[in-house]
Structure 1
Amino acid sequence: MHNLEGKWDVSQAAARAYGALREDILTGVRPAGSRLREEQLAEDYGLSRTPVREALRRLQADGLVQVVPNRGAEVVSLSAEDFEEIFGLRSVLESYAARNAALRGDVDVARLRELCDAMERQLERLDQDGAHEEITRLNMEFHQAIHQAGGRRLLPDLLSRVIEVPLVRRTFHRYTTAELHRSFTQHRELTEAIAAGDGDWAHAVMQSHVLAARATLLRPDQEEEETQ
């Protein structure tokens, strides 16, 4: 897959192994329950086992990897109850972040509008490879811009723990076209609430936005419509 070690020292190699493996987990290249054998990972990433072991330790601390007795390390599997908790936390934290962003007034609103435009353009190419991945990337940038507003020190890190979860990050793959339109409309309204400096409005829109995403993610597969 990658050749990450080269001339780097162990700490640099471990950091790069962490980044590469984390990305593979978050994007579903290594799905929930996948075994993570040090020897195979070292071969995949062109590394020795020492930086791979350190990367696994960090990912375990992040909650993305678990060590199972008699099996070893594997990508963590989350239950429906776990996702309920994750989205409950997101609802509280992201609503707070949106209110803070509106009241502090230091968000680049022009950039938020550009991101809204870019996400909406992807609606025209949903049948093409990479469209959902691009929507995910743009959506992450949109939300992170709001999280980082106001110079809050702890909030971005807290939110990254509940957003950087594999299935949460790939929620858009489950959206119908109508649900994508709804989500993007909420992005527009949230942007206008922030631009207006209305903290209560921003809080309410973000809360509705997160809870709608929860409903989509937790919808039983048999009820899921095909995105057209």
Structure 2
Amino acid sequence: MGASPWLIGTMSKASERAYEQIRDLILSGALKPGSQLKEEELAASCGVSRTPVRDAMSRLENELFIYRTESQRSFVNEWSPTDVEEVFTLRTMLESHAAGRAAQRATAEIVVRLQENSAAMALAVHRPVPDVDAFLRLNREYHATILEAAASDRLALMLNRLVLQPIVHRTALRYDRGQLERSLAEHEEIVAAIAKRDPDWASAVMTSHIRRAYHVYAESKEASERT
């Protein structure tokens, strides 16, 4: 006899809770790069059993938050400057290609969704204190929508492995208001290019958008290491 729907739903919720809590610990820096992750300790801190923690860690491994050694021990992922530069270089190539495809393939409904996303992001950025959490959530939705419009399963598979949320998160936390506003302006210009069905324009702006994010990350990383 299989597990009941109630039990499956309960375990799914526990796995999701464990995933969110462990991910937040990594993003906040409470779990530092290179830290070993132990299932028993995480289960206790998350208030769940080890099975949901194991499920959560498998998901986090797929998303490159953590890595597993040959001895099956898990650690928070560490990224060297060379690793980060390579990832941003590949992201630039793939996301600019996605933006160009989106300009050729986006439906009117997707263009409206992107415009609404940019409007919501503007509200988050222009608050007295910018809402960085909302900015990050909307940024994920924005890039996911462009990828949806690009309509390429192969491209989606490659990009989903490269969009390293820990790095995106840490980059956004280093943005001041001016940098948030510039990112917003780039989002709005890409939407304008997609609405005009201009793949070269959309691709060019996406290229500069990703490269600028890389330099913000690299410069802030260097500054933090000097202090």
Question: If the TM-score is normalised by the length of the shorter chain, which range does it land in?
Answer: 0.7 to 0.9
Separation in 1, partners of 2:152, 2:87:
21
The answer to whether the 8 A contact 1:190-1:202 is kept is yes
Residue from 116, 120, 124 that aligns with 2:126: 124
After superposition, the Cα gap between the structure-2 partners of 1:18 and 1:199, relative to the gap in structure 1 and judged at 3 Å, is farther
| Higher mean C-alpha displacement, 190-199 vs 44-53 | 44-53
Q: Which amino acid aligns with 2:183?
A: S
| 1:193-223 per-position Cα deviation (integer Å, ceiling 9, x unaligned) | 0000011111111001100111101114575
The match for 1:144 is 144
Separation in 1, partners of 2:222, 2:95:
30
> What secondary structure, in the 3-state scheme, does the structure 2 residue paired with 1:119 have?
helix
Residue 62 of structure 1 and its aligned partner are, at CA, apart by 3.8
The answer to whether the 8 A contact 2:23-2:60 is kept is no
User: TM-score, length-normalised on structure 1?
Assistant: 0.81
Report the count of equivalent residues: 217
What percentage of aligned pairs have identical amino acids?
A: 35
Residue 123 of structure 1 and its aligned partner are, at CA, apart by 2.6
Q: Which amino acid aligns with 2:117?
A: L
The match for 1:3 is none
Separation in 2, partners of 1:64, 1:95:
24
The match for 2:38 is 37
The match for 1:112 is 114
> What secondary structure, in the 3-state scheme, does the structure 2 residue paired with 1:32 have?
coil
| Higher mean C-alpha displacement, 174-183 vs 14-23 | 14-23
After superposition, the Cα gap between the structure-2 partners of 1:16 and 1:117, relative to the gap in structure 1 and judged at 3 Å, is closer
The match for 2:74 is 73
Separation in 1, partners of 2:53, 2:223:
40
Separation in 1, partners of 2:104, 2:217:
30
| 1:49-97 per-position Cα deviation (integer Å, ceiling 9, x unaligned) | 2443344344334432124689942211111111101101110110010
The answer to whether the 8 A contact 2:18-2:46 is kept is no
User: Is 2:100 the counterpart of 1:99?
Assistant: yes
Matches within 5 A, 1:1-228: 7-8=7-8, 12=12, 15-16=15-16, 19-20=19-20, 23-24=23-24, 27-28=27-28, 30-67=31-68, 72-106=73-107, 108-125=110-127, 127=129, 131-221=131-221
Q: Which amino acid aligns with 1:89?
A: L
Separation in 1, partners of 2:123, 2:17:
34
The answer to whether the 8 A contact 2:104-2:199 is kept is yes
* Structure 2: runs of 5 or more not aligned: 1-5
